Amino acid sequence: MRAEVHQVADGTYLVHGNNVNWVILKDGDDLTLIDTGYPGDRPGILESLAAVGGSPEAVSAVLITHAHNDHLGSAEYLRSTYGTPIYLHPAEVPHARREFLHQATLGDVVRNVWRPGMLPWAAHVIKVGGMEHNPVTAPEPFPGEGALDLPGRPVPVHTPGHTDGHCVYHLPAAGIVISGDALVSGHAVSWTKGPQLLPGFFDHDRGRVVASLDLIAALEGDTLLPGHGPVHRGAVRAAAEQARDRATRKARTSKAS
């Protein structure tokens, strides 16, 4: 599968890989890469960098929303091959080193096999390296607070729940929120289209995922670039509220049944 590169604003690109997204921020010849897809997305990562007129050598840093294999895929490759620093929230650094793993298990997949597309999705995950041991040897916490001195000036916002150190990245001047898996617009195992939470079995702490929607809703913006699904245009606050409403309705339905 070829990576699909979509320019969503000046110097900002959402890239669709193998059922997962990453984001490229460009300032002149310099780039920031946010997330890196599955291990099997490496050709797509390189292709997408070239498509925006860049290269791996031009990547000033890789920012990771969270250290699941579908977002961490090529981080160690870029670090070890090109010396690219890999930055995460401090709580997510040991996760990236694989001192522990907060990720859906095989048992979780089996218990959710009734979901639409689950079996094809699981087979795809195996094919693109989603079950591989894929640590980053030397991940680093963010170098400072507030806007990072990197292309795009992204602002990390800690949104725990999906993992302990999950972060979204805010681009205040552009009105963009890069939301990782804290708020998505679609997924291969979901019937739902538009702003939503991932199915609960993907989350380490569902209660904190729902609480983190307040943090996302407080961010000024009208464009959402999720870790899964297409770009969402519209007030970020409204997207977060819609996801909360959907999650609440599903929780009530589950209790009733």
Distance CA 252, CA 75 (A): 39
- Identify the pLDDT of residue 67: 98
Q: Which residues pair with 33 in a beta bridge?
A: 24, 62
Bridge-based pairing state of the strands 30-34 and 21-27: antiparallel
Distance CA 210, CA 182 (A): 9
pTM of the predicted protein model: 0.95
Distances (CA, A) of 117 to 105, 114, 180, 188: 17, 9, 21, 6
What tens digit of pLDDT does each residue of 63-108 get? 999 999 999 999 999 999 999 999 999 999 999 999 999 888 888 8
Residue 16 confidence (pLDDT) above 70:
yes
115 pLDDT band, cuts 50/70/90, is confident
| Cβ atoms of 131 and 125 closer than 8 Å | yes
What tens digit of pLDDT does each residue of 147-175 get? 999 999 999 999 999 999 999 999 999 99
Domain extent listing, the chain: 4-255
- Tokens representing 256? 């009733």
Type of residue numbered 214: D
- Identify the pLDDT of residue 253: 65
Distance CA 195, CA 102 (A): 23
Distance CA 132, CA 64 (A): 18
- CATH entry, 4-255, from 3.60.15.10, 3.40.50.720, 1.10.540.10, 3.40.50.300: 3.60.15.10
- Identify the pLDDT of residue 189: 92
152 contact partners, CB below 8 Å, separation of at least 6: 11, 12, 25, 26, 27, 32, 171
Residue 183 CB neighbours (<10 A): 30
Residue 139 confidence (pLDDT) above 90:
yes
What tens digit of pLDDT does each residue of 33-75 get? 999 999 999 999 999 999 999 999 999 999 999 999 999 999 9
